[in-house]
Chains A and B, each alone.
Chain A
Amino acid sequence: MSHLPVFPAEEERYRSLQELDPRGGGSLDVLVAGLHDESWRVRHAAAEGLQRLSSPTDVALRLVDVLGERGETGARNAAAEALVGLGLAALGPLVKLLGHPDPDQRKFAADILGQLGLHAAEAPLVQALEDPDLNVRVAVSEALGRVGSEHGARALERLLNDAEPLLRLSALEGLVLLRRPPPLPVVVSLLDDTRLRRSAFRALGLIPQVAATELLCQGLESSTRSVREAALAALGMQASLVESARRGELEAVIHAALRRLPDAVARLAQALESEDVTVRAGALLAVAALGEASLAVPVAEAAREDRLLRDVLSTLGRLGAEGGRTLLAGMSDLSAPARAAAAEALVDLVDETSVTPLCALLEWAEDDLRGVVVRALGRTRSPEAASPLVDLLRDSATAGAATRALGVLAGSCRGAVLAALEEAVARRATPVAVAALGRVGGAPALPSLRKLARDVDPRWRAAAVEVAGEVDGGVGRELARAALADEAAPVRAAGARAMGRLGGSEAGALLRSALQDEESSVRRAAVDAVGESGATDRVAELEPLVRHPDGALAVAAVRALSRLGRVGARVLREASNHPDAEVVKAVLSAGAVSREGVALAESLLEHPHWDVRAAAARVLGESGGPESLGPTRRALEAESDALARQALADAVARLSRR
């Protein structure tokens, strides 16, 4: 056996193992020697290197030998790490090790099999539950919790009656890990055993029945923090399992239980700070059930864990206007994720009193947060919100949100909104105000829009043209026609968009020059407009564009032709050969109902892009006949992508019914 060269420095030994050629002779021996190095870094490099060797079964056998080296703790742990990394190749040797005379070896085998997570280990592990050594049986039941299914779960359930409490505990934990709780009466019988109580709570969390909720609520009353937290975590789990229609029933039980607790609020605040994310999830549910507005800030802080965002938003939404005020007062002290969640929730919690604090928040809030605050301002139903919202139209980051917010606000205080917008346009604050003015003001705003369409600044002309058609078709068509001949590209693009929305018999003729415009933005707007306006007289100009190297233009052309009902066999063929997958998906969707489209979809079931395969499957599910079933089924069998598989499975199900 060759040995690792003795280098003075750990770094050199580490580097030499990292750079070792796995195909070189003796590399297995060198790496196994590396497992015994005094440095964890070198042992780790050796474990990683062993996973790169070309004969994993031989490697696994050698590693199993290392597991038997008593006194070599570092080497044994590194060997275990390497075995886990070997995957399937380690399965056989480890299963064999379950029959080793030394219980220590058998336990090691069970531990590693659990970490491997291979379902194929289930049957030998179930058999190993008969092991004479208690420690081995415990390790085996823990491993079964990671790899088992129904067979393993039944075996674990039988252990719940075992005389050994440790084994009962590991079996119960295993069942929880498998998310296969024993029947409720069995769990109830385990609650009396203090050693099993926390695990029994976890099992109750997997049983979506009110009787289980009631038992968990008894846990909330416990004087022991760990028991309370286990109960909370289980409640959170139960809420995630119960269908939404029954959630109110569950919350009513929790509400009643918490009302009986004099220090419920303090306990929930403490639970919201828990290190355990499942406890925080349960606490969020409990706060929602209690409707305790004073906890709004710690609830928002729970959003630091991304996975809790949905629960945080749902809970904050239950805390009412009082919760909203609490959040607004504490915004500057919240963490960034909590601020984002709080702002999101505020959209539904604000009222007339919120305008001033929301405006104060706008003084310093980050851009994304500002967008949400703007939305909240629009929901305040206060005329005082109009002026700050109009001011926000000047900032490109908030202009879109402010326009929509003004529209929403106009639903409750139209006069104030209109006055603020007219004043902004009069002092030429921003062209964005023109769009808002047109939409909120309606017909009385038309004279202003006509005037602005002749403005010296093209941004104002474009804004006026764009919105005029939304107010009055005749005026809009007139302004759009003039805009298509404007010297500024943004105005021509606005004219094309407006013409597309307005349509009419002349639209195709008027859009003709825009389709050949020197500016690509104008051409793209014109292509969209042709489709939107129904201008079938422009089909000949659109067809060649489906081959255009600019994917955006090609997609627009396919969509426009689809809207015009002019996606023929040639367009289908040419667009489906486009190198951009978005174009291919667009044409699949466009040709979905035709015989040629179905044939095209069948031909694309092996496309290199998963999303194209999924789109093809959807077409076949929608429009394919019985003859499509075979190819779709074969594609499903060969498919490895989860989303494409789902689409293919849906298609097969639909085709099978035809």
Chain B
Amino acid sequence: MARFDDSRPEMSAEEFRLLRDHVYSHCGILVHEDMKFVMERRLWPRLEALGVSDFSVYHRYLRYDANRHAELEAAVESLTTHETYFFREPSQLKAFREELLPLLEKRNARTKRLRLWSAGCSSGEEAYTLAMLLKDERRFEDWDVEVYGSDISRRVLSMARSAEYGPSALRATSADLLERFFVPAGKAKVRVRDDVRSMVSFGHHNLLDEAGSQLVMKMDAVFCRNVMIYFDQSARRRVLRILRDRLVPGGYLLLGHSENLLNLGADFELVHLRGDLVYRRPELTGGEAR
């Protein structure tokens, strides 16, 4: 009988650099020098899934294999395992609901149209959460409302479209919300109700892709929470330029609670809400093209 070894390979400094640079050139996500251990651990499951023996072979797989694009997306996803669950950062959502939504209602009263973007939406929890908040707000009942979720990983987008979630995604969802917005979907899972799903669309989008960003409609607010942390300074600036471009003048940018735009230029104004700090694309002025 064959002997089985489930030990795992170590990542050399050179392998780390090659993989790190490969990921960076693909999507601008920077794995810092001191994160070799983390990168090694996060990519192990990928090596395991592919039956690849070490990180050099994995690097060559990412360079040459017919499946390399999908694998690179999977690698990026593994490296950016950011937290995502329904109704995350409730204080920010409260401020959005109680302070920003009334402002947006007033601004868009004529068009009765509202567009929100969950940029880096992962498996869709944030996009659906926003749709649920809007659904709860009777004031938008006869409006044309859409939440757009985008991510660089096709795999997570497929999960987002399926709208099925396990207990971990629901750990901050009250029983009342669970009852109103979800239906059972087999063992240990629930599915987002169709009326909420119909408010949300998803798309594949690299936040650094300026040309691709033109496909995103103009937004009234962008949620880009805990995404910028993965980029270096120059990539952050590029992303911010794109987000600014996709926001209507006066539109809002909401970042994660540990993120800010310090040292990233001043393309946005800081807005002090009672319950949160958000950023706003400055209103058009006479000198700027409409």
Chain A contact residues, CB within 8 Å of chain B: 7-12, 14-16, 40-42, 44-45, 48, 304, 306-307, 309-310, 313, 331-337, 339-340, 344, 360, 363-365, 367-368, 371-372, 375, 378-379, 396-398, 400-401, 403-405, 407-408, 410-411, 414, 439-442, 470, 521, 550-552, 555, 582, 610-611, 614, 643, 646
Binds A, one of B130-138, B164-172, B213-221: B164-172
Given A364-B167, A404-B48, A611-B17, A11–B188 Cβ distance below 8 Å? no
Please measure, in the bound complex, the distance between the C-alpha atom of A414 and the C-alpha atom of B4, giving whole angstroms: 12
Contact of A363 among B38, B46, B65, B189 (CB under 8 A): B189
Please measure, in the bound complex, the distance between the C-alpha atom of A363 and the C-alpha atom of B82, giving whole angstroms: 21
**Chain A to chain B contacts (Cβ below 8 Å), 21 pairs:** A11-B288, A12-B286, A14-B266, A42-B266, A45-B265, A307-B38, A333-B171, A336-B83, A360-B188, A367-B45, A368-B46, A371-B48, A400-B48, A400-B51, A407-B6, A411-B4, A550-B64, A551-B63, A582-B60, A582-B63, A614-B14
Least distance between A610 CB and chain B CB atoms (Å): 8
Decide: A643 and B63 in contact? CB cutoff 8 A: no
Decide: B168 and A611 in contact? CB cutoff 8 A: no
Contact of B13 among A397, A442, A643 (CB under 8 A): A643
Decide: A643 and B189 in contact? CB cutoff 8 A: no
Given A332-B166, A363-B189, A440-B1, A372–B17 Cβ distance below 8 Å? no
Decide: B45 and A11 in contact? CB cutoff 8 A: no
Decide: A400 and B1 in contact? CB cutoff 8 A: no
- What chain A residues lie within 8 Å of B48 (beta carbons)? 371, 375, 400-401, 404
- What chain B residues lie within 8 Å of A398 (beta carbons)? 49
- What chain A residues lie within 8 Å of B2 (beta carbons)? 407, 439-440, 442, 470
Decide: A339 and B168 in contact? CB cutoff 8 A: yes
Please measure, in the bound complex, the distance between the C-alpha atom of A310 and the C-alpha atom of B187, giving whole angstroms: 34
Q: Is B234 an interface residue, CB under 8 A from the partner?
A: no
- What chain B residues lie within 8 Å of A364 (beta carbons)? 166-168, 188-189
Least distance between B233 CB and chain A CB atoms (Å): 12
Inter-chain residue pair count (beta carbon < 8 A): 143
Least distance between A379 CB and chain B CB atoms (Å): 8
Binary interface profile of B, 1-24, with partner A (CB < 8 Å = 1, else 0)? 110101000000110011000000
Least distance between A640 CB and chain B CB atoms (Å): 14
Q: Which of B199-224 contact A (CB under 8 A)?
A: none
- What chain B residues lie within 8 Å of A16 (beta carbons)? 287
Q: Please report whether the interface of chain A is mostly helix, strand, loop or mixed according to DSSP.
A: helix
Q: Is B238 an interface residue, CB under 8 A from the partner?
A: no
- What chain B residues lie within 8 Å of A309 (beta carbons)? 37-38, 41
- What chain A residues lie within 8 Å of B167 (beta carbons)? 332, 364
- What chain A residues lie within 8 Å of B35 (beta carbons)? 306-307
Please measure, in the bound complex, the distance between the C-alpha atom of A488 and the C-alpha atom of B38, giving whole angstroms: 41
Give the residue among B14, B18, B45, B189 with the most A Cβ atoms within 10 A.
Answer: B45
Chain B contact residues, CB within 8 Å of chain A: 1-2, 4, 6, 13-14, 17-18, 34-35, 37-38, 41-42, 45-46, 48-51, 60, 63-66, 78, 81-84, 155, 166-168, 171, 187-189, 265-266, 269, 282-283, 285-288
Decide: A410 and B1 in contact? CB cutoff 8 A: yes
Least distance between A499 CB and chain B CB atoms (Å): 19
Given A41-B266, A368-B78, A611-B14, A306–B38 Cβ distance below 8 Å? yes
Please measure, in the bound complex, the distance between the C-alpha atom of A339 and the C-alpha atom of B166, giving whole angstroms: 13
Please measure, in the bound complex, the distance between the C-alpha atom of A364 and the C-alpha atom of B66, giving whole angstroms: 30
Decide: A307 and B34 in contact? CB cutoff 8 A: yes
Contact of B63 among A9, A313, A552, A610 (CB under 8 A): A552
Please measure, in the bound complex, the distance between the C-alpha atom of A619 and the C-alpha atom of B10, giving whole angstroms: 22
Add 15 more A-B contacts to A400-B48, A404-B4, A550-B64 (CB < 8 A): A8-B285, A9-B286, A12-B288, A16-B287, A41-B266, A41-B269, A309-B38, A336-B82, A375-B6, A404-B48, A407-B2, A441-B1, A582-B63, A614-B14, A643-B13
- What chain B residues lie within 8 Å of A334 (beta carbons)? 168
Decide: A45 and B285 in contact? CB cutoff 8 A: no
- What chain A residues lie within 8 Å of B60 (beta carbons)? 552, 555, 582
Q: Which 4 A-B pairs have the closest CB atoms?
A: A364-B166, A407-B4, A552-B64, A41-B266
Please measure, in the bound complex, the distance between the C-alpha atom of A536 and the C-alpha atom of B42, giving whole angstroms: 41
Please measure, in the bound complex, the distance between the C-alpha atom of A552 and the C-alpha atom of B66, giving whole angstroms: 11
Specify the chain A residue showing the minimal Cβ separation from B189.
Answer: A364
Please measure, in the bound complex, the distance between the C-alpha atom of A41 and the C-alpha atom of B266, giving whole angstroms: 5
Decide: B1 and A414 in contact? CB cutoff 8 A: yes
Decide: B83 and A442 in contact? CB cutoff 8 A: no
Least distance between A526 CB and chain B CB atoms (Å): 16
Decide: B49 and A401 in contact? CB cutoff 8 A: yes
- What chain A residues lie within 8 Å of B78 (beta carbons)? 368
Least distance between A306 CB and chain B CB atoms (Å): 5
Decide: B64 and A551 in contact? CB cutoff 8 A: yes
- What chain A residues lie within 8 Å of B18 (beta carbons)? 611
